[in-house]
Structure 1
């Protein structure tokens, strides 16, 4: 049985609870090419949720300023372009022009205090932790 690759993105404590950070990664597509892969990780207590940082309405990044992903109440992800609101746990748009659509989910798990991504092959990854907001 093949093992599933896991990539450590950061430590759980690197993201304060009820906050979201963006990471600008690259992944290998099915043809073996590197593709940009901007993601957002939301920490909620001991849980982490991951999504591709792209609004389903028009394909723009969600953050209007670096690492500004949440609405004024800090309870929903929000698209800075047009204000669509997304449920943090499911990625479903609950208000805005893309209501009923969803953010693309990333398989994120917390393992031994580390936030890890599964299900994709990252490009140029050297097994070191990445800092929030970019690739080292």
Structure 2
């Protein structure tokens, strides 16, 4: 996908530094909820699906818990996932990983860079 065909997901400031938000991304399978997490100018994207029971990670639509700006927390069983690689460090699915969705920060916006989730993908901002 070239820069001109990237899909805008949200403005960078939509995601609090150390926080997360949920956006719908136009993946090949259709519009899919994606969790975006941010630390400084870095943003990572993951399918909004906990590997424990394949449930959404938000306790109410669009609201994702984070802890100390370092990990995502699944609302259902409190599994903790690192921002930078989606690896579960604590909880019932320890050792599992979230499914990454490739995103890129361009200026002050977050873009989807591919329509298929791929393992271990994160790109730095400017």
TM (norm. structure 2) is: 0.80
Contact 2:87 2:96 in 1 (8 A): yes
Deviation at 1:72, TM superposition (A): 4.6
Superposed CA deviations along residues 40-91 of structure 1, whole A, max 9, x for unmatched, are 1112111111000000110000011234322453431011111111001110
Deviation at 1:16, TM superposition (A): 1.9
Q: Number of paired residues?
A: 115
The whole-number CA distance in structure 2 between the counterparts of 1:118 and 1:6 is 5
Gaps of 5+ in 2: 117-126
Q: 2:90 aligns with which of 86, 95, 117?
A: 95
The whole-number CA distance in structure 2 between the counterparts of 1:46 and 1:92 is 20
Deviation at 1:13, TM superposition (A): 1.7
Q: Which has the larger radius of gyration?
A: 1
- Report the aligned-residue RMSD: 2.0
Contact 1:20 1:67 in 2 (8 A): no
Name the structure 2 match of 1:80: 75
Deviation at 1:100, TM superposition (A): 0.7
Superposed CA deviations along residues 20-53 of structure 1, whole A, max 9, x for unmatched, are 0001344334xxxxx3411011121111110000
Deviation at 1:11, TM superposition (A): 1.4
Name the structure 1 match of 2:11: 11
The whole-number CA distance in structure 1 between the counterparts of 2:48 and 2:78 is 14
Gaps of 5+ in 1: 30-34, 122-136
TM (norm. structure 1) is: 0.75
Q: 1:111 aligns with which of 93, 106, 120?
A: 106
Contact 2:87 2:97 in 1 (8 A): yes
